[in-house]
Amino acid sequence: MLKRQGIYIIAGVIALFVALHLGFPPDHHAPRTTGTVMMGGIAYLLMTCAILLSTRLAVFEDWFGGLDRMYQVHRMVGVLAALTALVHFFAVPRELPPGVDPIANALAPSAPLGMLGLIFLVIGLFIALNRKIRYSRWRPTHKMMALVYLLLTGHFVTAPGVFFERFSVSGVLLMIAAAAGLVALVYSIFGMNRRTALPYRIEAVNALERATEVVLKPVGDKLAFTPGQFAFVEIEGKGWNEPHPFTISSAPGEEHLRFTMKVLGDWTRKVREELVPGGDVQVRGPYGRFDAAQAGAKQIWLAGGIGLTPFLSKLRAMEAGDPRQIHLVYAAREESEAIFLDELKARAAELGNITLVPLYSDQGAFAKVEVMREKLPDPLETYEYFMCGPKPMVDGLMGDLKKAGVPRARIHTEAFEFR
C-alpha cells in the first residue's frame, strides 16, 4: 500500500534540525561554518534514517507501506546522505578561526575519521548501486556501511568546538539520532532484525512452466500472514546460502505454505533442479503491506508474469459474497507461461466478482493503458490499482495511469526486488 507517513517523518526531522540549527546557531560560528555544519548534520541524520530502515521493524512497514518500500527509501536517503556529506566536505572552511590552537585541532581525530568515513561512504554507495554485483556478494559488502556510520559518528562527536557545538540545540538532536542509530546498527548487523524463524518441512516440489511450486508443511506453529505478504525462505543444507524473499502464494487458512518461484538465477535454478521433499526449511516473516482487502470497491489487480503470486494468495483466500468488483489483468508472454491459469478461471467462475483479463504479448496484447481502456468497462480513474510485475512494466503503467487521471494514492505496487 502507498503510505507516506514515513517520508513525512524523515522530512519533518530534517526540517526540525535545520530550524534548530539556524534558529539557535552557536555565537562564535561564522555563517559559512553554520551552513556547512548543517549539511554535515543533515547527512548524518539521513544516514541514521537509512540505518533505522534496515531494522525491518513492523511499525516502519506501517509508516512506509511495506518492506520493499522501506528498502527503496533506504536507498534514496543513502544517496542523499552521500551527496550532502560531499557538500559538507568540500564547503567546510579549511582555515581555523583566530584564537584556535592549530596543534590541539590537528590532534583531534575528527578530520581523519570524517575523511575515512566519506571515502568508504562513496565506495559503499558505488557498490550499493551497482546491479552487476551478484546479490550474494553484494550483501556482505553492503555491511561496510556500518563502519561508515561508526566513523561518521566519531567524526562529529570529536569535532573541534569551533566547528561543532555538541550541546547546542541541534547538536543534542544529533546526539539523540546517534544513540538511536547505534542501537539500530547493532540490532540489524547481528541479525536481530530477522523475525523468528518457523521450521517447515518440504512436502512437495512441483515443476511449472519456468517456475517451481514449493509446498511446505509446518513442523510446529504455522506462520500467521495476510494474503499478499511475503517471507524469507532459508533452505537448510550445504550450498543454499542466504534466505530469499518470496510471496506466499497459498491462502492463510491452508494447512500448507506454498511459494511459487520463477527460475531466475543460481538459487532458484537449484530449487528447480535439486530440491526434493523431506528437507528442512526455515521461514521468516511475514513482511509486506500489499493489502487490497480495505481498498475501494472497484479494483484492478495487475500481474506481470510471476507477479501473479500475491494475487494468487488473495484469490485463494477470497470468500463468496466479497463485495469488491475485481478485474485481474494477467500479462504473460504466452498462454503456456501463464501459470495457474485453469485455477484462476475456476476461481473467477466460482466467486462471480472476479473478471480475468489475460494479455499475451505473443498475441500483441500488452499491459498498456490503451489496452486496459479497451478491456475495462468503466473509465480508468474509477478503479483502485494493485500492480506487481517487472519493473519496466510497473513503472510504465504507473506513469501512464497518472497521466490518464488516476491519483497516485489509488495506485499500489509490490516490488520483487530490494536493491
Ligand X SMILES: Cc1cc2nc3c(=O)[nH]c(=O)nc-3n(C[C@H](O)[C@H](O)[C@H](O)COP(=O)(O)OP(=O)(O)OC[C@H]3O[C@@H](n4cnc5c(N)ncnc54)[C@H](O)[C@@H]3O)c2cc1C
Measured from the CB atom, is 289 or 410 closer to ligand X?
A: 289
Residue nearest ligand X, CB atom distance: 265
Sign of torsion over alpha carbons 34, 36, 41, 42:
positive
76, exposed or middle or buried, with CB in 10 Å at 0-12, 13-18, 19+?
middle
Report the number of secondary-structure helices (H) and strands (E) in the chain: 14, 11
Does the bond joining 26 to the residue before it have cis omega, within 30 degrees of 0? no
Q: How many residues bind ligand X (CB under 6 A)?
A: 23
Minimum distance between the CB of residue 9 and ligand X, rounded to whole angstroms?
23
Measured from the CB atom, is 86 or 133 closer to ligand X?
A: 133
Other CB atoms within a 10 A radius of the CB of residue 347 amount to 17
Minimum distance between the CB of residue 308 and ligand X, rounded to whole angstroms?
8
If phi > 0 it is left, if psi is from -120 to 50 it is alpha, else beta; for residue 325 that is: beta
Q: Which of residues 357-386 bind ligand X (CB under 6 A)?
A: none
Minimum distance between the CB of residue 271 and ligand X, rounded to whole angstroms?
8
x/- mask, ligand X, residues 16-55, rule CB under 6 A, reads ----------------------------------------
Measured from the CB atom, is 265 or 296 closer to ligand X?
A: 265
Measured from the CB atom, is 213 or 280 closer to ligand X?
A: 213
Pairing of strands 197-208, 211-218: antiparallel
x/- mask, ligand X, residues 297-336, rule CB under 6 A, reads ---------x--x---------------------------
Other CB atoms within a 10 A radius of the CB of residue 381 amount to 11
Q: Which of residues 117-156 bind ligand X (CB under 6 A)?
A: 134-135
Candidates 54, 56, 65, 68; binder of ligand X (CB under 6 A) is 68
**Per-residue b/e over 182-211, b at no fewer than 16 CB within 10 Å?**
bebbebbeeeeeeeebbebebbebeeeebb
Whether the CB-CB separation of 332 and 357 falls below 8 Å is answered with no
Among the candidate windows 28-36, 55-63, 176-184, 410-418, which touches ligand X by CB under 6 A? 410-418
Pairing of strands 230-235, 411-414: unpaired
Q: Which of residues 195-234 bind ligand X (CB under 6 A)?
A: 230
Minimum distance between the CB of residue 273 and ligand X, rounded to whole angstroms?
12
Minimum distance between the CB of residue 280 and ligand X, rounded to whole angstroms?
18
Measured from the CB atom, is 156 or 200 closer to ligand X?
A: 200
Minimum distance between the CB of residue 290 and ligand X, rounded to whole angstroms?
9
For residue 303, the SS3 value is: strand
Minimum distance between the CB of residue 307 and ligand X, rounded to whole angstroms?
8
Structural element, H or E, at residue 216? strand 211-218
Measured from the CB atom, is 330 or 416 closer to ligand X?
A: 416
Measured from the CB atom, is 178 or 261 closer to ligand X?
A: 261
Measured from the CB atom, is 194 or 222 closer to ligand X?
A: 194
Helix ranges, 241-280 (H): 266-274
For residue 215, the SS3 value is: strand
Sign of torsion over alpha carbons 6, 8, 9, 11:
positive
Candidates 166, 194, 256, 419; binder of ligand X (CB under 6 A) is 419
Minimum distance between the CB of residue 132 and ligand X, rounded to whole angstroms?
10
2 vs 230: CA distance, rounded Å = 17
State the DSSP code for 96: P
Pairing of strands 257-262, 298-304: unpaired
300 vs 339: CA distance, rounded Å = 19
Minimum distance between the CB of residue 20 and ligand X, rounded to whole angstroms?
37
Measured from the CB atom, is 203 or 234 closer to ligand X?
A: 234
Q: Which of residues 227-286 bind ligand X (CB under 6 A)?
A: 230, 242, 244-247, 260-262, 264-268
State the DSSP code for 417: -
Measured from the CB atom, is 70 or 178 closer to ligand X?
A: 70
Whether the CB-CB separation of 92 and 36 falls below 8 Å is answered with yes
Q: Which residues bind ligand X (CB under 6 A)?
A: 68, 134-135, 230, 242, 244-247, 260-262, 264-268, 306, 309, 416-419
